[in-house]
Chain A
Amino acid sequence: MSMNPSNRLRRWALVPAVLGLALVAAGCSDDNGNGGSGPTQTRAYNQVQRLGNPLVSEVLLSKRSHATHGASSPSDDATLIAGEALGFLTGPGSVANRDPGYAAVLGGALIPDMLIVQTDKDPATAGWLTWLNLAPFSNGYGGRKLTDDVVDLALLAVFGDPFGADPTHTTPSLTTDNVANDSQFLTAFPYVGVPN
């Protein structure tokens, strides 16, 4: 039996390939810790979307940063997004052109980006940002109701002066989008209106 050199080379080349497949197979059967294959409860998930306060990502961050916000945690916000969010509100080239002190107050209310709820406060005070101890709010329940006009409140906070803290750097044409809620909410669970 004779074999030409190129055939011999091909056969030897198969050896590492087969070994490699065997190693990969061994790794697969072991990596979920129960010897089985396919998805199990130990599969790992990586975050792609995150939402705490409404409109923080959509308004304060440019589109290229939305994926970063979506894949990170509130504890990363000071490092990853606070600079860009503050740059929208104040400083040279900023969109809102606010007083730096006012921008810091607003940034402190929204970042880290979590919906703040004070469960020991009167439920009747519930609403977005009502947890702030800053007139017109007074240390209330907070959270966010289905009926809240968060777009108008966000616009008012960014371009208006709801706290009476920075009256000279406002943009009155941008403080409301002039639309209202159209949903019919339920008084009982699950509260959100029936589908259209």
Chain B
Amino acid sequence: MHWQKFSRWQRLAMIAVIAGLAGGVVRVAIGSDHQDTPEVELNPKMDMTEVYAFPGTGTDRIALVMNSRAFLTPAQSPTASFDQDLLYQFKIDNDGDAVEDKVIQVVFSGTGANQKVKVYGPLDPPVVGSMMNTLADATPVVSGPINTVLGNANGIQVFAGPRDDPFFIDLEAAFCILPDRRPVTGALSAPCQLGTGAAFRAPGAAQNYVNGFNVLSLVIELPEARLTAGGTSKLGIWGTISR
């Protein structure tokens, strides 16, 4: 292509088009800094990482843990807090129909290390199912600042705040084996760099990708009887985050 063949106006128009294309590329790159679903892209605090349930301290007590905010760095952690516009819930089925019979509802107010947590329940769900859930019109059973052990060791005990992420996995290798599960951007989004094919790395070469990262932990311990009441001793437990 010979530049001189074009008039001055044609040349200016071509420069404008090229500049516009370049601008578009830059905007796309900035706008695609996310990990998972569109909802999590909007707010990483919605990103629930794991749920745990295990025997607590003392007879017939159970501890429930819900972690969120994946890959919180040590630098981000001292001022990290939960999202005060979200509703965090443990849902418990105690009669085997996979529908919640009890819920524990948790909300937060304020931001940063001075944030306050309020815990409601366990109580009958004000609304059953995943949509249009409401917070119980009740008095919180436990409330107070995050980063503090709250409540009563014989009743309901609560802790909310940044903790070491207990999860461990060679995520780089996992994404080599199941490439469609990769995030869209960031270090983990690149095609497999390991040269291992569809296999895990050998002991010693394998790396725990989660090592060194924190999460926001919500830990609640209570008597098992508070969850089995009105049902059986067999529980189905799951965590939810709603906005």
Contacts and interface: CB of A to CB of B under 8 A. Distances in A.
B238 A45 contact: no
B221 A146 contact: no
Given A50-B238, A190-B219, 14 more contacts: A47-B130, A48-B241, A52-B236, A114-B237, A116-B236, A174-B177, A174-B200, A177-B170, A178-B204, A189-B221, A192-B163, A195-B214, A196-B212, A196-B213
B200 A178 contact: yes
Interface string A39-51: 0011111111111
A66 interface: yes
Q: How large is the interface on B (under 10, 10 to 19, 20 to 34, 35 or more residues)?
A: 35 or more
Interface string B131-144: 11111010000000
A179 B131 contact: no
Given A49-B48, A191-B219, A196-B164, A119 B62 contact: yes
Contact of B164 (A70, A116, A193): A193
Contacts of A9: none
Interface of B: 36-40, 46-57, 60, 62-63, 65-68, 74, 77, 86-87, 93, 97-100, 127, 129-135, 137, 149, 153, 157, 159, 162-166, 168-170, 173-174, 177-178, 180-181, 198-208, 211-214, 217, 219, 221, 224, 227-228, 233-243
A174 B197 CA distance: 11
Q: How large is the interface on A (under 10, 10 to 19, 20 to 34, 35 or more residues)?
A: 35 or more
